[in-house]
A = this chain, B = another copy of it.
Amino acid sequence: MVTEQVFSLNPLTGEKHAIPTNLDHSKAIDDFVLKNKDKPIIVVQGLGFVGTAMSLVCANAINGDYAVIGIDLPRPNTYWKIKSINDGHCPIVASDKKIELFFNQAKEKGNFLATYDPYAYSKADTIIVDINLDVQKQSNFEKDLEGFDVDLGPFKKAMSTIGENCKEDVLIIVETTVPPGTCQKVVQPIITEALEKRNLKSDAFKLGHSYERVMPGPNYIDSIQNFYRVFSGIDPKSEVATETFLRTVISTKEYPLTKLSNTNSTEIAKVLENSYRAMNIAFITEWSRFAEEAGADIFEVVHAIRMRPTHKNIMLPGIGVGGYCLPKDPLLASWARQNLFAGAPLGMSEEAVKTNDKLPLYAFEFFAKKFGGKLAGKKVLILGVAYAPDVFDTRYTPVEPFYNYLNKEGCEIILHDPLVSYWEEKRLEIETSFDKILDKEDIDFIVIGTGHKIYRNSSALVNKVATQENIFLFDPIGVFSDENIQKMKNGLGTIKVLGRGNI
């Protein structure tokens, strides 16, 4: 039987790499460990947005000299990263110059390897868990969130793999956002059992939880190295080990660590943080509609309220809520409360997700209604597809459902994002040059999808809208000043600007 060869596409270079069928990478790992002898070995599980950056931070530790092995599964969407790292090419293109810098420094030192071989775990003094833990949502953006589930299967499997390979006295630090209760009720038993099966000491390993607050934007590295951290340990020795380790990679002098009493507490803290943001956005959504009915500008109103120090963090709805965390973390928490603690659902937090999931639909409906409803054949330029300003992350971006609605109406859609050349989820090439996009002709509608800096009060954009007849702007994010909006409104054509958050 001939196995069909499977490839992994590197979206940065366009290259296709055959995924190896022989998964024995032990020679490379042994060589790496030998070359880095005397250095403690850190294995980072998961080479996603967090794991890759965390690997770089560890390989460039401020108070330590580590050898770092990043590990991920040999799959089409991950293998290219392993290949890229080992070929000496940074797998992330970020506006944060430190990413490239840290990668090159690690390359020079030779202390960063990537692999798919679980053999790596056997070499680890410290294992950092940075894999995904997803929520399965029965939501299609068009109707209410009807139900959701959390499949712990893949996460449990990843923990088993660690337990089957790790040293008995390893330090495991979970950075993944997990349902509260997971370290105590899931990770600890799995590792304990696996070690017992291997006839190893089952009470020598250390297990800590310390969640990340990574923002893959201009402060990507700093969001790990130079930011506040919360941590906890499953027992006193784990607490000490976790703290000692964190002090070697994080600037704890400027950003003191916060120790919480147990792993449930830090796990709750993480999902509570994100649920708080999700709730604040959901809350203002209702009010933005009320404001619209009353002829009030919700942007103006919120800016006035933000003058109060106690109200600085009141949020705006924009086109919707995206990113990997906010659309799922409230649900992770509610699931955990029900399934790991036999408690009630977190009703308000679930409601927040429900409201936020509907935002792109509301934004689209507002747009379609205000512009007469006949959208077929219209040429629409969407500026920005990332889920947040100045990041290149498109996971769960609210622009995706908005794009889908326009597509369904038969619009011709042109996409621009200065930071996203390839939109992975939609498998679309995207123009990154703003100049080229502004030269496009016959555009009917411009929609601000993401509040990237480059769009904020861009005079070229203001000029285009003001001087061209029959071109309209929809700005649900609010990237233009009153003055610029007035300029555009006074330009050729009738009312040319809509939105400013009143969606």
Contact = CB atoms under 8 A, between A and B. Distances in A.
Interface of A: 180-181, 213, 228, 230, 258, 260-262, 264-266, 268-269, 272-273, 275-277, 279-280, 282-283, 286-287, 289-291, 293-297, 300-305, 307-308, 310-314, 333, 337, 341, 343-344, 346-349, 351, 355
B290 A305 contact: no
B343 A286 contact: no
A268 B286 contact: no
A71 B266 CA distance: 55
Given A295-B262, A304-B230, A355 B346 contact: no
Given A279-B279, A295-B262, A300-B260, A286 B341 contact: no
Given A304-B258, A311-B273, A296 B265 contact: yes
A272 B286 contact: no
Contacts of A296: 180, 260-262, 264-265, 268
B348 A290 contact: no
A90 to B, nearest CB: 28
A67 to B, nearest CB: 31
B307 A228 contact: yes
Contact of A347 (B181, B275, B286): B286
Nearest to A256: B307
9 contacts: A181-B294, A260-B300, A260-B301, A261-B296, A268-B291, A269-B304, A269-B305, A276-B311, A348-B351
A283 B268 CA distance: 14
Contacts of A213: 308
A450 to B, nearest CB: 18
Contacts of A280: 276, 279-280
Given A301-B269, A307-B228, A311-B313, A341 B260 contact: no
A343 B301 contact: no
Contacts of A314: 276
Contacts of A349: 283, 286-287
Contacts of A348: 282-283, 286, 348, 351, 355
B268 A294 contact: yes
A213 B309 CA distance: 12
